[in-house]
Amino acid sequence: MSRAPGAPGARVLAVASGKGGVGKTSVAVHLALALAARRKRVCLLDADLGLANVDILLGLSPSRTLEDVLFDDLPLEQALVRAAPGLDVLPGSSGVQRMADLPRVARERLVREAQKLMGYDLLIVDTSPGISRQIVSLCLAAGEVVVVTTPEATSVTDAYALIKVMVQNGLARRPHLLINRAKSQAQARLIFEKLDSTARRYLNRDCGLLGVLPDDAGLSRAAALRRPLREVCPAAGITRAFDVLAESLADARGPLSRAGRIAPDFFRDFLVRAMAEAAQAEPPLKTSQQKMSAAKGGTLPGLCDRLAALDDLVKALPNATDGAGARAIYARLADELTRLRRDAALAENRDPESGLLKPRPKAALLCDDPAMREVLADILDEVGLSPFDAPPDGKLPDFKNPPALAVACWDGPPTSLAAFADAVRGSPLLTLPGLGTDPTPCPGAVVVRRPFRLDELRRTIVRLSNRPAN
């Protein structure tokens, strides 16, 4: 493909996820198809190094891949497979994994061959799920990153982990979130606000909401038939949602409208990052992780292992802190060690100084909306409270010690809310308007009304429960 002199090259967009099974590859494939249907010239690179399956979803059987371009001198255009009008696929196979070991001649060839992608409007890179160095390098080289998540708690947690690792490794632009399999727009908005507020608080980085895809069986049906979604169910809500996403991306004033990294720069930057990481790879650290896991009763093994590794590394650094660079590394590691110690103590409900277990204060929760209940329970758990659900009638047993906090987000019968308020008398009570009508006023209750930000809600909970604002 050729493009007029002076015209910009293909924008590069990486589609990533913190965990597998969230529909990341389906999103990349059907987003590429929707863009091509809008007369955009799109190239889809299958860079899922663990389980490449773009070709499966599109019903393709490629005989050549990027590996042949790198190691067998195949011209890049001969590896491209036409999947639909305006959409070509560049199968990645397992060759991408060998990029870090490419000789100089092969690296120069790759960047030179990548010039042939300049004729496209967009290069979409479908990465592997997870937070490995290889995946992060691909995302950072792309410049624009879309992180796909679902309402599932583990998916949201892993999406944040991916964003955190990218920010720590130099992500320059804000990541864009795509909520897949959402039950409703309200649920998706709550998930976005939760991720965005957490990233703002801990990473000093905000996120963008690229879009929302509904929970629709049409996507699975299209995958099973190995046919494009718009052919299988052209009038379905999920098809229209992809059209809206494509329209947003194609809009010159859309969320990704700024000039981004172009295809040759993407491959060059990825190669540089991959080689640098290979050169800086350190041998495994000998740590006291087994002793630490035993001391902590075997809980949180991953966190304890990281804590032990950092502990040993920090102890070894003071003798090498003469240079400014070494001092900066030491300071960063010491900060991380302090944070991990605190997180380990909070997660296990231990006193950070003595390491002894502390009784975890309880929080009564009356909520008839599952999505909001999950958000509230997460916030309560995060600030160190142990949430427990009140029955639908709002009646609770007599407490020897009243809960540290009571929270109600209720749209049901007013008698249930009144019974709940009576049962938690003596405890701070926080009420939120339900998804329909406002709750019946409760004497002495603090009311947080919509619209509200999750960080504001968290601060209110911390204040009412007298929890430390860590």
Full 3-state SS string of 164-231: HHHHHCCCCCCCEEEEEEECCHHHHHHHHHHHHHHHHHHHCCCCEEEEEEECCCHHHHHHHHCCCHHH
Tell me the pairing of strands 144-149 and 208-214.
unpaired
State both tokens at 55.
């070709």
Predicted local distance difference test score (pLDDT) of residue 347: 53
CA pair distance 290, 301, nearest whole angstrom: 9
pLDDT per residue rounded down to tens, the chain (470 residues)? 444 433 456 788 999 999 888 999 999 999 999 999 999 999 999 887 555 678 888 888 888 888 888 888 899 999 999 999 999 999 876 656 666 566 767 777 777 888 888 889 899 999 888 888 878 888 988 878 999 999 998 899 899 999 999 998 888 788 999 999 999 999 999 999 999 999 999 899 999 999 999 998 888 888 888 888 888 888 788 999 999 999 988 875 666 655 556 777 788 777 766 655 554 443 433 333 333 333 344 444 454 554 454 444 444 444 444 445 455 555 655 565 566 656 555 555 555 555 555 677 889 999 887 777 878 888 888 788 888 888 888 888 777 778 899 999 888 888 888 899 888 888 999 988 754 445 556 778 888 876 667 778 888 888 898 755 44
Instruction: Specify whether the CB–CB gap between 197 and 454 falls below 8 A.
Output: yes
- Which pLDDT score, from 0 to 100, does residue 242 have? 94
pLDDT of residue 407: 92
Task: Give pLDDT, residue 41.
Answer: 93
**144: phi then psi, degrees, rounded to nearest 5:** -110, 130
Q: What is the pLDDT of residue 313?
A: 46
pTM passes above 0.75: no
Neighbours of 247 (CB within 10 A): 13
pLDDT at 88: 95
State the burial class of residue 85 (Cβ atoms within 10 Å of its Cβ: 0-12, 13-18, 19+). Answer: exposed
End-to-end CA distance of the chain: 54
3-state secondary structure of 16: strand
Bridge partners of residue 335, in order along the sequence? none
